[in-house]
Amino acid sequence: MYSGQTVFAQLMDFAPAPEFRKCVTRYRGNHKVKSFSCWDQFLCMAFAQLTYRESLRDIEACLRASGSKLYHMGIRGKVSRNTLAHANETRDWRIYADFAQVLIGTARHLYAEEDFGLRLKRTVYSLDSTTIDLCLSLFPWATFRKRKGAIKLHTLLDVRGNIPSVVIITPGTVHDVNILDQLAFEAGAIYIMDRGYVDFSRLHRIQESSAFFVTRAKRNFQFQRLYSRSIDKGAGLQCDQTIVLTGFYSQKDYPDKLRRIRFRDPDTQKRFVFLTNNFTLAPLTIAKLYRARWRVELFFKWLKQHLRIKAFYGTSENAVKTQVWIAIAVYVLVAIAKKRLGLEQSLYTILQVLSVTLFEKTPVLQAFSSETADLIETENPNQLILFD
DSSP string, 139-179: -TTSEEETTEEEEEEEEEEETTTTEEEEEEEEETTS-GGGG
For residue 385, what pLDDT is reported? 53
Q: What is the mean pLDDT of residues 233-240?
A: 90
Q: Which stretch of 71-85, 91-105, 164-178 has the lowest confidence by average pLDDT? A: 71-85
pLDDT digits (tens, 9 = 90+) for 101-135: 999 999 999 998 888 888 888 999 999 999 999 99
Model confidence pLDDT, tens digit, residues 32-81: 888 899 999 999 999 999 999 989 999 999 988 887 788 888 888 788 99
Q: Is the pLDDT of residue 13 over 90?
A: yes
With contact defined as beta carbons under 8 Å apart, do 278 and 190 qualify? Answer: yes
* Distance of alpha carbon 320 from the chain centroid: 16
Confidence class of residue 223 from pLDDT cuts 50, 70 and 90? very high
Task: Check residue 69 and give its pLDDT.
Answer: 81
Query: Which secondary-structure segment (H or E) carries 130?
Result: strand 124-134
Q: Which residues, 6+ apart, have CB-to-CB distance to 259 below 8 Å? A: 240, 241, 242, 243, 275, 276, 277, 278, 279, 286
pLDDT of residue 280: 94
Confidence of residue 1 (pLDDT cuts 50, 70, 90): very low
- How high is the pLDDT of residue 123? 93
pLDDT at res. 374: 54
User: By percentage, how much of the chain surpasses pLDDT 90?
Assistant: 68
Tens of pLDDT, residue by residue over 357-372, are 888 888 888 888 754 5
**3-state DSSP assignment of residue 363:** coil
pLDDT at site 311: 87
Encode pLDDT of 315-335 as tens digits: 999 999 999 999 999 999 999
Averaged over 293-316, what is the pLDDT?
A: 90
Q: What is the pLDDT of residue 346?
A: 84
Which residues face 309 on adjacent strands? none
Q: In the predicted model, is pLDDT for residue 3 greater than 70? A: no
268 pLDDT above the threshold of 50: yes
- The confidence score (pLDDT) of residue 30 equals 92
pLDDT over 70 percentage in the chain: 94
Q: Please answer whether residues 329 and 25 qualify as being in contact, where contact means their C-beta atoms are separated by less than 8 angstroms.
A: no
Report, in angstroms and rounded to the nearest whole number, the Rg of the chain calculated over CA atoms. Answer: 23
* Contact by Cβ (8 Å): 277, 259: yes
Task: Find the length of the chain.
Answer: 388
Give backbone dihedrals phi and psi of 266, rounded to 5 degrees, phi first: -65, -25
Q: Distance between CA atoms of 95 and 37, rounded to whole angstroms?
A: 12
Whether residue 375 has pLDDT greater than 70:
no
- The residues, any chain, with a CB within 8 Å of residue 267's CB and separated by 6 or more, are none
| Burial category of 370 from C-beta neighbours within 10 Å (exposed 0-12, middle 13-18, buried 19 and up) | exposed
**Number of Cβ within a 10 Å radius of residue 62:** 17
Q: Cβ neighbours of residue 371 under 8 Å, at least 6 residues apart?
A: none
pLDDT bracket for residue 184 (50, 70, 90): very high
Return the pLDDT at 371: 42
| pLDDT value at residue 119 | 84
pLDDT score recorded for residue 368: 83
Please report the DSSP string for 71-129 in residue order: HHHT--SPP-HHHHHHHHHHS-THHHHHHHHHHHHHHHHHTTT---SS---S-EEEEEE
Residue scoring higher pLDDT (369 or 96):
96
pTM over 0.85: yes
